[in-house]
Structure 1
């Protein structure tokens, strides 16, 4: 091999032996490679920000032959990210199949003894999939995972290389590599930017005489040095470890893209011809480099290995790119796209299975399934359909061992934080602390809780930052979204007083102001949108508003010009088709939405209801089971809500719950009378509609009465709810209502009965979409027949069974007889 060949990037990507040769190292002076006979059952390769849209033309043109080979016979899919797309949070979710609220990683930094430092792997609060694998006898090697410093020792012979260990200065190696006897070799292998020969980065600038005076060239050189160091240590770890599984994470692709995507073809407006011609190859070269890395890794696999290639998110390309990012912490994340990549190839894959709707939460359960290890009950993801695991052994993971290390010098932490600021992930003042909370971390956690479907808790996190008119605009925008989603309109109105129409996008702030107006039953105005004047994200907000306002024809006009199939748009179509009772169209868009993003509990609930309406009981049962599996068990006491039309027996339902130990929430303002001798069990806060979800949250374990159809408009809290839906035969219901109003002789109209029945159907749909709500139907006639004649209908038997399960006490006919006084039934 000639000297010129040695200097190529392809040579340096060959692994630790090639780098050792390049540096003139004698490997015999270091520990010998063990003669391992342990099979590598699985290999997971993580490429931060890899995106099918960018890779597809490269694959077609033959620029990524190793990835093409991996795809041949494999399964490919899109992989939905989570919000916020912040790498340490996302890769921790991938490793644990849990949301950041559970796994404990909330940003790039953390507080330790009042000092800000780069986030550590020891801050993870739950087991990773490699912890679980090792507890089940499968040794694991991990390299570069963000975060994973300090590196814990493998209990099974694997090698651990932390995310900080590959830093060029080598100052993190002492706590960053296990076993420690590999640290001298790692230190000797690490390259410095000045060691990378000019020829090695020619791939990035084929039409440019490379100059170290060029800032973009210097950045590429720095990123490339780090990428090669990660890869060098990865191949070293694979060679020296005895592992059944290995996870290798490369962050460089994301950095290359943040630097070079604006120069990537096609040329963006605002990018000069000179800059475009000089730098347009950066992203392509970055992918080609990673393809070379992949080739080296695949040499450690065989036909029995299942190989995964994944990314935590995609990256915007083409017309979606930003010309100029806003100036605030985390702005680079705006360039990330919602869908990353999923690729798997191995002997046990079902290549014909429809693998769609995957999220980051699904990776850990899927990888464990390859090793025939069961996911923990706390994991929120599912096994990808392409995997067909056998019988799972029972396993309960032990607590994760927290690895401690000597505290690194403050100067090193300062250097790491400076690097994060330089890359745009942190503001220079983002280390500001309020009440021992990092401001940006609280903001990220609030965004994550929102994505998790917990807007009330998200608002509490954000509100702890003491928002005011001087708060960053993105904090106020998130606060408005959270208050809108949790229906805290008084708080939303207070927040809006700090903003003006000029802040951010006027149409979005107009949406929030219209929401407040709608909640106060005041007039609101729909902006005069056209298909060319509204962004899709803004249209989605106004679409949700129109659903709340029952303006479904306007919703149809708003959605009609939007040709993009994305879950939020499809879900608005789902709401529309439900309203117009087009069940087949509703099922079609609902299934399409869950194909794009599977983790949507309410959509699965809607599909369950739709399948019931169309007579497909088996599909309805499956959809309901999926919905329940997607939601965590919060172990909360349920909130009991008695509802139904006036004179349907709602007060009787409250009496029944009271006799069963569920105390009613009532202020007794409305006294008992001839129509309700036992009282009305009402509360003025509900009658005057001055309550909110927080007030109801404080009433768990008790019962409240909210008559239909007001219940579907009520600001209900998240978590378990038991809905006692009182029913009564139509003629009797109408006659009783007329008697109450002193209008006994008024004629009965079928439209009135239809209106009450439609209100009941809407309520049933609403709570079918809530996996944590149980609906118990109690028919007034059934109750009276059981109390008076001792006959228990099948409907009443079913209701008793649900109440028995919820209350953990026997509910039967004797429960009714102690409450119902048939002689009082006058109307």
Structure 2
């Protein structure tokens, strides 16, 4: 074991927590406990993964691996018998989680409320599953037996946790008024008071269970998860000011404070949890994604239940929160674009353990007081010993999770297909396969996504999401002919799609059919180009055709409309680079980076502009950030190798060159005179 920077680590997950809500609350003194953590530690935006669905993401956080590798691909999964569905189970995870790894190395660890954690695993500590609240009675005082397998831990813990639970029926109108005084204005027949009571009961019960676990004996790491901000957000964020078109004035008056008060309640419970954890506890507080809270909130109306299930994740922003505070962590560190994949490696390093080479992220070394000595193992899955895992033959009755399934239907994450279990199983299988394809597409593996999406299109030719995703995957895989065929079918199913028209131009350009691409661009411009919201798209399409001056002009138009977004600045940087204005390109790229550090191409364009401008050291740093965000970024690897070679760093040049064989071209079909080959050729021999 290496040196151990952190003696006791609390990993606290707040699903969908967002700095855009937190910062105003902290500035008004309404979240004092979190404000103290932030002041004493390091904060950052945490970049999510796609699809932005919580079971996939929290399993990635716990394992350090993408969903296609850890195996949790949906909220639910077919039961082993194949005639129903169940909430995604711990027995379906295909790789060890942090709590298994720590158990293997003799550390004491608690895991509370994590997605896909039922049945509780026999780890060295307490494991309290996400089905803790199953079977809650409809009236106070009614017996409430604990679901079998919901709690593993020291003797007596299950009984104490059972007694500490708060049933929704116990959150009466008086208790609701204490949380939200305006609830008294709710109209008769409004089911939202019951929804709020249910979510508050779950939050308080999981918190009580976590406190019981922390007090059950010495521990090295505790992982506590709350989904309340997300679940309440799907019900109530539409009622938060400013008023959305589909929200009434009465909604704002009655429910407008729910979200802010939910955050404040999380802060109160954070204070209690830190007190229970005791002095000397270091904290990693994070969310899997953000949640739109302003003018960019989606309006999801006039859709079927199945369509709503697919659209509900539009509420999720790409940036979540990350706080690292306490002994071992630096105050005020600048963290370079962390992602969900970085959490498990960072937690292992904090506790002095090696990082699995098969984990997809990195140790956030810059957040530590002293950069940790990072050791590795090939894979924690291959390490021998007792890791607190279930025996292979263990199974769960899928219908024990009926309450959780009803909640998912209510949230809109699942379509309610009544008693037709066969259709429900088929839907679950399709959507799980689709989610896997999205994971593959968005992690640089579009070639693997294409056959999955092709099969889905064949099975459900009427599902536009499947067709559009196949078109995008085919384009990313470099099969522009297949992309055009998919675009044609997509446009037949959804006439007038601007997204399809954009992809048509890009695919024609990629095939070298420039006249047809120009004609398609003219058609798009006639139909959509004058609309201000399409200025960014026009900049991209002109870039696809190498019309860089036009691209720059459209980027300027987009900047006038959307100066706060990174994309217009990136479009301007890209065009300026190709036009040879390297200073402007770097300036626009820096402006884009100020707005988002987590867009890989921003760092690539900045690195390229700096390299062309002769600033090789800074160029190398920017290209390294691009490769940290997407290790398989071919253009960045090629340029990084060229820059390293020019600087005389032959080891780095060889490392980057070695990436090229297994990498993916991210700018396929876009003409350029400023790539690594052109830069090499421009340098004095």
Change (3 A) 1:720 1:303: same
Q: 1:633-648 residue pairs with structure 2 within 5 A? A: none
Matched, 1:207 2:182: yes
Check whether the contact 2:59–2:116 (CA below 8 A) recurs between aligned residues: yes
Check whether the contact 1:501–1:510 (CA below 8 A) recurs between aligned residues: no
Residue equivalent to 1:551: 547
How big is the shift at 1:356?
A: 4.3
Residue equivalent to 2:472: 481
Give the Cα–Cα distance (whole angstroms) in 2 for the partners of residues 567 and 455 of structure 1: 25
Residue equivalent to 1:747: none
Residue equivalent to 2:253: 277
Give the Cα–Cα distance (whole angstroms) in 2 for the partners of residues 221 and 165 of structure 1: 16
Residue equivalent to 1:459: 450
Residue equivalent to 1:75: 42
Give the Cα–Cα distance (whole angstroms) in 1 for the partners of residues 88 and 66 of structure 2: 17
Matched, 1:416 2:391: no
Check whether the contact 2:176–2:183 (CA below 8 A) recurs between aligned residues: no
Check whether the contact 2:42–2:331 (CA below 8 A) recurs between aligned residues: yes
2:347 aligns with one of 342, 367, 370: 367
SS at match of 1:248: strand
Q: 1:554-703 residue pairs with structure 2 within 5 A? A: 554-562=550-558, 563-591=562-590, 593=592, 604-623=603-622
What is the number of equivalent residue pairs in this alignment?
615
Q: 1:330-349 residue pairs with structure 2 within 5 A? A: 330-349=310-329
Check whether the contact 2:78–2:425 (CA below 8 A) recurs between aligned residues: no
Change (3 A) 1:205 1:393: closer
Q: Render the CA deviation track for 1:134-191: whole Å, top value 9, x for unaligned.
A: 4344321110111212211223xx2111111233536663212112632222223322
Q: Render the CA deviation track for 1:733-755: whole Å, top value 9, x for unaligned.
A: xxxxxxxxxxxxxxxxxxxxxxx
SS at match of 1:138: coil
Give the Cα–Cα distance (whole angstroms) in 1 for the partners of residues 602 and 435 of structure 2: 26
Check whether the contact 1:143–1:233 (CA below 8 A) recurs between aligned residues: yes
2:27 aligns with one of 44, 49, 60: 60
How big is the shift at 1:382?
A: 2.4
How much is the aligned-residue C-alpha RMSD, in angstroms? 3.6
Q: 1:247-396 residue pairs with structure 2 within 5 A? A: 247-325=223-301, 326-327=303-304, 328=307, 329-384=309-364, 385-389=366-370, 391-392=372-373, 394=375, 396=377
Give the Cα–Cα distance (whole angstroms) in 2 for the partners of residues 472 and 760 of structure 1: 36
Change (3 A) 1:483 1:575: same
Give the Cα–Cα distance (whole angstroms) in 2 for the partners of residues 225 and 460 of structure 1: 44
Give the Cα–Cα distance (whole angstroms) in 1 for the partners of residues 593 and 117 of structure 2: 33
Change (3 A) 1:543 1:486: farther
Q: Render the CA deviation track for 1:514-549: whole Å, top value 9, x for unaligned.
A: 3344434423214158898343xx555544332221
Change (3 A) 1:456 1:566: farther
TM-score, normalised with respect to structure 1: 0.67
Q: 1:179-218 residue pairs with structure 2 within 5 A? A: 179=153, 181=155, 182-209=157-184, 213-218=189-194
How big is the shift at 1:311?
A: 0.9
Question: Is 251-260 or 381-390 further displaced after alignment?
Answer: 381-390
Change (3 A) 1:202 1:718: farther
Q: Render the CA deviation track for 1:348-370: whole Å, top value 9, x for unaligned.
A: 32224312422212222222232
SS at match of 1:175: coil
How big is the shift at 1:550?
A: 0.7
Residue equivalent to 1:246: 222
Residue equivalent to 1:448: 439
1:219 aligns with one of 195, 202, 206: 195
Residue equivalent to 1:515: 506
Matched, 1:120 2:89: yes
Check whether the contact 2:129–2:150 (CA below 8 A) recurs between aligned residues: yes
1:135 aligns with one of 104, 111, 114: 104
Give the Cα–Cα distance (whole angstroms) in 1 for the partners of residues 203 and 409 of structure 2: 20
Q: 1:720-799 residue pairs with structure 2 within 5 A? A: 762=674, 764=676
How big is the shift at 1:238?
A: 1.0
Matched, 1:719 2:667: no
Matched, 1:229 2:205: yes
Change (3 A) 1:553 1:285: same
TM-score, normalised with respect to structure 2: 0.80
Give the Cα–Cα distance (whole angstroms) in 1 for the partners of residues 530 and 334 of structure 2: 36
Give the Cα–Cα distance (whole angstroms) in 1 for the partners of residues 672 and 14 of structure 2: 50
Give the Cα–Cα distance (whole angstroms) in 2 for the partners of residues 554 and 615 of structure 1: 27
Q: 1:483-498 residue pairs with structure 2 within 5 A? A: 483-498=474-489
Q: Render the CA deviation track for 1:194-214: whole Å, top value 9, x for unaligned.
A: 122332211443134267843
Change (3 A) 1:440 1:376: same
How big is the shift at 1:241?
A: 4.0
Check whether the contact 2:300–2:311 (CA below 8 A) recurs between aligned residues: no
Give the Cα–Cα distance (whole angstroms) in 1 for the partners of residues 299 and 129 of structure 2: 34
SS at match of 2:277: coil
Q: Render the CA deviation track for 1:449-481: whole Å, top value 9, x for unaligned.
A: 222122222222211213478432222222222
Of structures 1 and 2, the one with the larger relative CO (CA 8 A, separation 6+) is 2
2:525 aligns with one of 503, 512, 527: 527
Bigger-Rg structure (1/2) = 1
Give the Cα–Cα distance (whole angstroms) in 2 for the partners of residues 539 and 462 of structure 1: 30
* Structure 1 runs not aligned, ≥5 long: 1-38, 635-716, 723-758, 769-774, 778-793, 796-827
Residue equivalent to 2:647: none
